[in-house]
Copies of this chain bind each other. A is one copy, B any other.
Amino acid sequence: MSFGVCYYPEHWPPARWTVDAQMMRAAGLTLVRIGEFAWANMEPAEGQYAWDWLDRAIETLAGAGLQLILGTPTATPPAWLTRAYPDILRVDANGRPRDHGTRRHYCPNSPTYQAYSAGIVTAMLGRYGAHPAVVGWQIDNEFGGGQTARCYCDWCAAAFRRWLQARYGSLAALNEAWGNVFWSQTYSDWAQIAPPGARVDKRSPSHELDYFRFSSDAWVAYQQLQIDLVRRYAPGRVVTTNFMGLFPDLDQYDLAAPLDLVSWDNYPTGNPERWRPRLYAPGRDSRRNDPTYAYDVGEPIITSLAHALTRSLKQRPFWVMEQQCGQINWGDVNPGVRPGSSRLWAWHAVAEGAAAVLYFRWRATRFAHEQYHSGLLHHDGSPDVGYGDHLRLEAERALLDEVMAAPCPPAGVGLLFDFADLWALQLQPHRADFGYLRHLFVYYEALQRLGIPVDLVSPAGDLSPYRLLIAPTAHLAGEALAGRLADYVAGGGTLLLGVRSGFKTPSNLVTADPLPGELQHLVGATVTDWQSLPPEVGWPLVAETPALAALGEDPAGFWVERLRPGKAQVLVRYAGGGAALTMNERGPGRVYYLGWYPPAGQARTLLAYLASQTGLQPIASDLPPGLLALRRAQFIFLLNFTDRPLTATPAGYTITVAPRDVWVGIAEQPDR
């Protein structure tokens, strides 16, 4: 597996297919994804299938030596289905059903839609499940994309009640778990419970968090319906679906679990617009690109974070199912992309753990919503910028193949990522600019800027490989989480907990215990009070440890928690009283609690200290802004995302990387 492309043969005359297949092969591509969205072509009327065109397309591509990924077309029900069975339509939080003419306008809980989905997928599998060139199946497309993760239809209401009955057993248990005594929200009949739609303001965060969980579970179940069919009718084929990087509305760990591999859709230039406002600190969070970087490469640390999250889903190499290779069409400016940027993105993906990269799309479409989205070819079939970039990659193919076949061993640092925590803080940030991902990004960016490899990791994942485990906010903390973290520390691990950890129970109530609730014994200290602070207000800090003296140079702000140490040692205190950073020795391990939300500089100081305490080495020293240092197995990478040459020093060698270029080295002593 290595490079491929997304292709929509139904958009072009069959006579062109042969030309396209030959051009693909000539460019060195080996994988083609087809089929997604083509339901109306496969089944033009209910029960009447039309396979001839797809037979011919598959034969043409396979005949040219290409391997195929078939996408099931369930993201786009045909008009005859939608019109005959409007109960399949997704209903938004305002109670308005969506309609034909877009994608993802269906409800995963509709039994009607489930039945028709099974029908088309079974028919496709019957036709192509055993085809030797069809090596894999992509289930549906971008689950949850376009704000479609949650539906509020009557099917969902009923399914939600069943889900709650299974979770809580009794109404009394549910009323207690949600704190329904508040504002007479108590339910006396299951039938009284509805999805938390827009008709209700000041909604219960426990009710909503469970609706987020339920909605995520609904997609997992809908996906499983299709996975089961593929497993049955196409044994031995790879099953995947295409994720969307940092997409926060579904629990990606749950979606990934039953798949053979995960893939995601990587559009780097769109990321700053979508993610800077949610990731960068207030004041740095405009939708514009950071001027450090070349204007047409996106924000590489954001892209890296998305790669890292995807990699963490199964803790092994992943695919990029859709890789941007020219301008996109869904941003505010959609800047044109120069030669070299698409190649740089491919190397970036590979360095982060990609085992295959498929470009989106082969040729720009003439039709409908994506007309202005580029492909490897222009609308008129002539090569666009990404095509030239790929030819350059072909010349680097030997090294690329070697890297893409390499595993992704765990990094030395793990960053705990939990979707339920993200949702709980999204529902109640307390201050508008507090975000779970924004907070996590402080730590992630600091590690990237230090050149220290880092993984994301689910609380349910294997924590043992990490020398240092960072939980920016272990927010919903029950006994189970406390136990897993205690085990990790008992195994010699170093754990750093950040603000708002241990604040809530798993059902999103505030703990009645001293903070950090279930984690207080681990921390060996309690939080006596916490405050949100306006931008102009800071609490001066005093470092008790010379190695952390730099932390005292700036005050703590934004969010501060004052600790009263029990068994823990105080490393930094507030000049106004109370501990600010504590360290608790627990057998062979250590637990740090950082009582304030650190800005970028303090985060780097603290993480450099913890790296040195845990024996972690950076990939390169003196990393300038704009240069990323990454490692995959024995390979190390320096990627320059600026328009200037940049220099760094990996393993003692001084390396200068040209603008928008990459340098690859082999680590003499592979190290975590």
User: What residues make up the interface of A, taking CB atoms closer than 8 Å to B?
Assistant: 10-11, 37-41, 44-45, 73, 75-80, 82-83, 94-103, 105, 146, 178-189, 191-192, 194, 196-207, 288-289, 291, 295, 327, 329, 332-337, 364-372, 378-382, 384-385, 428, 430-433, 509-515, 528-534, 536-537, 560
A-B contact pairs, 11 of them (CB 8 A): A40-B188, A76-B183, A79-B187, A79-B189, A95-B96, A98-B200, A101-B196, A101-B204, A102-B201, A366-B512, A380-B513
> CB distance B335 to A184 under 8 Å?
no
Q: A366-B509, A368-B204, A371-B510 are in contact. Are A78 and B186 (CB under 8 A)?
A: yes
Q: Is the CB of B512 within 8 A of A379?
A: yes
Identify A185's interface contact among B94, B182, B368, B431, CB under 8 A: B368
User: Inside 8 A of A514's CB, which chain B residues have their CB?
Assistant: 380, 382
> Which residues of B lie under 8 Å from residue A45 when comparing CB positions?
188
- A513 to B382 alpha-carbon distance, docked (Å): 10
How many copies of this protein are present in the complex?
A: 3
Interchain CB contact under 8 A, B332 and A431:
yes
- A367-B100 contact given A37-B182, A182-B11, A183-B76, CB 8 Å threshold: no
Residues of B within 8 A of A380 (CB): 511-515
Chain B hits for A381, CB < 8 A: 512
* Cβ contact within 8 Å between A44 and B183: no
Query: Which has the most chain B C-beta neighbours within 10 Å: A97, A187, A367, A381?
Result: A367
CA distance A293 to B41 in the complex (A): 59
Give the most central of A73, A99, A368, A372: most B CB within 10 Å: A368
In the complex, A96 Cα to B201 Cα: how many Å?
A: 13
Partner of A371, one of B82, B99, B205: B205
Closest 6 CB pairs of A and B: A336-B531, A179-B367, A40-B184, A182-B368, A76-B184, A101-B200
User: How would you classify the secondary structure of chain A's contact residues: helix, strand, loop or mixed?
Assistant: loop
Known: A199-B97, A368-B185, A512-B379. A532 touches B204 (CB 8 A): no
CB neighbours of A191 from chain B (8 A): 83
In the bound complex, what is the Cα–Cα distance between A510 and B641 (angstroms)?
Answer: 33
- Which residues does chain B contribute within 8 Å of A369, judged by CB atoms? 182-183, 202-205
| Other-chain contact of A379, B336, B364, B511 (Cβ < 8 Å) | B511
Which residues does chain B contribute within 8 Å of A79, judged by CB atoms? 184-189, 192
Asked if A510 contacts B366 (CB within 8 A), the reply is: yes
Nearest chain B CB to A186 CB, angstrom units: 4
Q: How far is the CA of A291 from the CA of B536 in the complex (A)?
A: 10
| Known interface pairs A40-B184, A183-B102; A530-B189 also in contact (CB < 8 Å) | no
Contact present for A103 and B202 (CB under 8 Å): yes
Residues of chain B within 8 A of A329, CB atoms compared: 430
A371 CA to B334 CA, complexed, in Å: 42
Q: Is the CB of A367 within 8 A of B181?
A: yes
B184 pairs with A102, CB closer than 8 A: no
Complex contact A370–B37 (CB within 8 A): no
B103 and A327 contacting across the interface, CB-CB below 8 Å: no
Of the candidates A10, A45, A184, the one having the most CB atoms from chain B within 10 angstroms of its own CB is: A184
A192 touches B335 (CB 8 A): no
Query: Which residues from B are CB-within-8-Å of A100?
Result: 185, 192, 194, 200
User: A509 CB to closest chain B CB, in angstroms?
Assistant: 5
Tell whether, in the assembled complex, residue B37 and residue A289 are in contact, meaning their CB atoms are under 8 Å apart.
no
**Please, which residue of chain B has its CB at the minimum distance from the CB of A97?**
B199
Contact pick for A529, options B206, B372, B384, CB 8 Å? B384
Q: Are B368 and A10 in contact (CB under 8 A)?
A: no
Contacts A41-B181, A333-B534, A366-B509 given; does A372 touch B83 at CB 8 Å: no
Q: Which residues from B are CB-within-8-Å of A146?
A: 201-202
Residue of B nearest to A196 (CB): B101
Kindly list chain B residues whose C-beta atoms are within 8 Å of the C-beta of A200.
98-102, 105
Q: Give the CA-CA distance A203 to B99 in the complex, in Å.
A: 10
CB-nearest residue of chain B relative to A505? B366
**What is the CB-to-nearest-CB distance from A587 to chain B, in angstroms, rounded to a whole number?**
28
- Contact between B335 and A534, CB atoms less than 8 A apart: yes
A77 to B186, CA, bound (A): 10
Q: Which of B41, B336, B530, B531 contacts A186 (CB 8 A)?
A: B41
> Smallest Cβ distance from A358 to chain B, in angstroms?
19
A70 to chain B: closest CB distance in Å? 15
Which of B182, B366, B532 is the one whose CB lies under 8 Å from A336? B532
Return the chain B residue nearest A45 by Cβ: B188
Across the interface, A530 reaches (CB within 8 A) one of B44, B179, B192, B336, namely B336
**Minimum Cβ distance to chain B for residue A628 (Å):** 22
- Contact, CB under 8 Å: A202 / B102: yes
A500 to chain B, nearest CB (A): 11
Point out the residue from B78, B96, B327, B365 that lies within 8 Å of A184, measured CB to CB.
B78
Residue in chain B with minimal CB distance to A73? B184
Q: A294 to chain B: closest CB distance in Å?
A: 10
Contact status A39-B184, CB under 8 Å? yes
5 more A-B residue pairs beyond the given contacts A11-B179, A332-B433, A379-B511, with a C-beta to C-beta distance below 8 A: A100-B200, A289-B534, A334-B431, A366-B509, A379-B510
* Docked-complex contact B182 and A365, CB < 8 angstroms: yes
CA gap between A428 and B430 in the complex, in Å: 35
A493 to chain B, nearest CB (A): 28
Q: Which B residues lie within 8 Å of A431 (CB)?
A: 332-334
Question: Which listed residue, B80, B99, B537, touches A199 by the CB 8 Å rule?
Answer: B99
Specify which of A97, A102, A204 lies most central, judged by the most chain B CB atoms within 10 Å of its CB. A102
Q: A205-B369, A529-B384, A533-B335 are in contact. Are A103 and B38 (CB under 8 A)?
A: no
Inside 8 A of A78's CB, which chain B residues have their CB? 184, 186, 188
Complex formed: what's the CA distance from A204 to B189 in Å?
45
List of B residues within 8 angstroms of A198 by Cβ: 96
